[in-house]
Structure 1
Amino acid sequence: MPQWPSLPFIPYPPSKAGYWSPVTSTLNWCEEDYYATIYSAEIINTVTNLLFMWLGIKGIRSCRRNGHDSIFEVAYYGYLLVGTGSFLFHSTLKYPMQLVDELSMIYTTCLMCYASFSYSRPTGVRIFLAIALTSLAVFITLYYHYLQDPVFHQNAYALLTTVVVLRSMFTMEITLRPKWRQTTEEDRLARQKQGLTVPSKEHQHYENVRDTKILKTMWFMVVYGLSMFLGGFFIWNLDNHFCTEIRGWRRVVGLPWGIFLEGHGWWHVMTGIGAYLYIIWGIWLRHSLNNRQDEYYLWWPHFWNFPEIIRLDPSGKNKNGLAKKAS
């Protein structure tokens, strides 16, 4: 047992039967059950979901206030449902609440998949994609309920998330990287002959500089978000593999210090931030696809702030009357 520095602490209370007993979920995490209150099976795993719930409401309000596409408002409702489902699951450790928690993750990722792959597609393709993704979500729901194997859910979620993120990365590069859309003199002449609008060289240079700057910030957001996801996953796996030792350490250091050794709670915090960043990225990318970069800007003064895509008024100022910041 490691020697911890002598700090004032409160001894951990013993676990006891809770209001929601018995446990019926197929998963039970490393946090001890009902040690803090009889009304919450895993108090830290429960309250860390408040971040999800707050950011979900923040995102919904931002979509309405700034006129973002409705698919992202729906995605934020899904994000809010994930946090609410996880809150109820860790409070009760009941199987129905476990399904709400885990399956809402699948449904929200399917929504983001639709947002990524349906853009600018013909109506028939969008309908087919909607039916295909709905069918996939139903299949995962029924098969997971039949198997009751968390590994199946985790693999399905990881695969869907990987597909969506890689697709968004590809779209981002093709849309914003100047070298992929560089207009040669031959292209300019061909567009003129067809009666199409040809941007001046000065305007093209402005767009190249603007979009290169946006692209750089987007890549930072992607790396930051993925780092939060993977870091949270790593900490959670330490929790899974060394649970006996970690529980012992918690009881040595006592409360409140043992809170910082709750690996699954860190998973909630870090994935909550990562998922929020992904939706923000998706919103900004959609405005870029619509060639509306000059109508919106990213408010993100420091990396520890929660960013927001804000619409400018026609004068080029934000809702507080301040001039647009550089993206």
Structure 2
Amino acid sequence: MRRRTLLMSAAAAAVGAPAIARAQAYPSQTIRLIHGYDAGSNPDTIARHLSGPLTEILGQQIVIEPRPGAAERLAASQVARMKPDGYALYLMTGGQAVVSATDRSLSYDLLKDFDFISIVTRFPFVLTVGPDSRFKTLQAYIEEGKRDPGKLTYGTSGVGSTLHMAMELMLEKTGAKMTHVPYKGGIGQPYNDLVAGRLDMHVATFSSAQPLMKTDKLRALAVTSKERHPGFPAVPTVSETVVPDYDVVSWLGFTSPAGLPPAIRDRLYAAFQQAMARPDVKAKLEELGNDTRVTSPAEFRARVEADMARWRPLAHVVNQS
């Protein structure tokens, strides 16, 4: 019996040895960092700010690959089929939890097809109008949406995105009705439409909107977080104006296809901690409107599960669009 036990242990060690060796050698080649939005978008901007420090820490080049389309569904469906070897990483947004909670037609299962490594940033959204818009407050916009249902418009990055659901949650709470105008992941066209008066309001991330806000080419009506944004303290929150206790904050986190070896996951997690601890990285990301706190893989998964539970009741909005 003792001899059999020793043989089984030796066999198990032999099987695990190649995996351990691969993990110890990681990374030995270029790492692809994929996200689901256009160049210049919030995920792309953050990816580019992190790619340099991560390249230094890991000793291998980080190549950013935008794969925009369908509110991140396209990128997620492609990454889910990739090899879980640490050389294809996915910078996922909180929108994936929303999509997975509300869209029954997805080709992937968020909780089964991905390994969650770490959330690195959290951020609210901002509700913007053109500089000459007649709406000076969010209350005025909502009140007109009640008086004349469906007349007013609002834009987002796509059907089922967090920005879309953030607005629909607000409309459900207030009883107003607006017409949703989804844009294909772009950031330029909705702002052009706001300025030209073809769009009444746009739900945006701070990283994309704040350059135009600072030059008065856009006006902010409200932010979606419970607290005011430190960079724009004069802009009220949705909870202060139209929906008490309203609080919508999204996130960005690093994931991989399911099955990532634990040693590689731990190596990546440590690298993200190092990168996010750098004062220059923190300062730049916070300037763009991000709260920079690294979470553990377990905390990341728990956040995804909680977000999916929160947004599931709004599935009818996506399925009717």
TM-score, normalised by the number of residues in structure 1: 0.28
Q: Higher helix proportion, which one?
A: 1
Q: Which has the higher contact order (CA 8 A, sep 6+)?
A: 2
Structure having the larger proportion of residues in strand: 2
Q: Which has the larger radius of gyration?
A: 1
